[in-house]
Copies of this chain bind each other. A is one copy, B any other.
Amino acid sequence: MPKLGAEPIRRAALVKATIEAVGAAGSLDVTVAQIARRAGMSSALAHHYFGSKEQIFLAAMRSILTLYGAEVRGALAMAQTPRDRVQAVVMGSFAPSSFRNEAISAWLNFYVLAQSSAAARRLLAIYQARLRSNLLVGLRPIVGLRAEAVADGLGALIDGVYIRAALAGGVLDRRQACDLVLAHLELELEGVQ
C-alpha cells in the first residue's frame, strides 16, 4: 500500500475531509479520528503530517481562502471599468465554489476560531484586508472619499448574507444572495457616473 510521494495527496485528502466533516457537523467539534477516517487513513497519520489538530484546521482554512482568492482574481481579470471591478469582487465572493454549504459552515466556524486563535485571526485579517482593498480600487474612482464607507458596508453585508445562508441551510439561493448585495451596490452608486 505505501506509495511514495503520498504526502501531498494525504494532506489534500485531509484538508478536503476536514472541510466536509466541519460542514457535516456544523461545528469544530470533530475529532481527528473522524477526519482521518473520512480521508481513508488512521488518526496517527493525520498527526504525522500535520502535527496537531489546529494545524489541520488552519490548512483547511488556507485552502478555502486560496480558492476564494482565485475566484475573485479570475472575475477581476475580465473587468474593464472600475464599476466592473467592484461587481467582479462581489460576484467572485458568491462564486459556486465559495458559496456552498460546506464552505459557508467552515467560514462561520473559523470566525469563531479567530476569537481564540491568533493564527486563525491573522488568516482572517488577511482575507478582510484583501477584500477591502479589492473593493477600494474599484470604488475610489467612482465615489472618491466615500469609498471606505461603501467598502465597509459591502463587506459587512457580504458577511451577513453568508451567515444567514449558513442558517438557511441551502435554502437561500446563490443568485438571490448575490443579487441582494449587488442591489445594495447599485443603490450606493446611484447618481454617480
Contact A163 B163 (CB under 8 A): yes
Could you tell me which residues of chain A, from 171 to 193, have a CB within 8 Å of some CB in chain B?
Answer: 180, 183-184, 187-188, 190
Among the stretches A46-54, A82-90, A105-113, the one at the interface with B is: A105-113
A69: interface (CB < 8 Å): no
Number of copies of this protein chain within its complex: 2
Determine if A111 and B163 form an interchain contact, defined as CB atoms under 8 angstroms apart. yes
> How would residues 106 to 142 of chain A score, 1 for a CB under 8 Å from any chain B CB and 0 otherwise?
0011011111100001001000100000000000000
- Chain A interface residue count, CB cutoff 8 Å, equals 36
Binary interface encoding of chain A residues 146-186 relative to chain B, with 1 for a CB under 8 A from any of its CBs, else 0 = 00010011011111110110110000000000001001100
Residue of B nearest to A158 (CB): B160
Contacts of A121 in B (CB 8 A): 167
A25 within 8 A of B: yes
On whether the beta carbons of A161 and B166 are closer than 8 Å, the reply is: no
> Are A26 and B159 touching (Cβ within 8 A)?
no
Is the pair A166, B115 in contact by a Cβ cutoff of 8 Å? yes
**10 sampled A-B residue pairs with Cβ under 8 A:** A29-B116, A108-B111, A108-B115, A111-B163, A111-B166, A111-B167, A153-B180, A156-B157, A157-B157, A187-B188
| Nearest chain B residue, comparing its CB with the CB of A156 | B160
Residues A116 and B25 in contact in the complex (CB < 8 Å), given A111-B108, A167-B111: yes
Contact of A180 among B27, B109, B111, B149 (CB under 8 A): B149
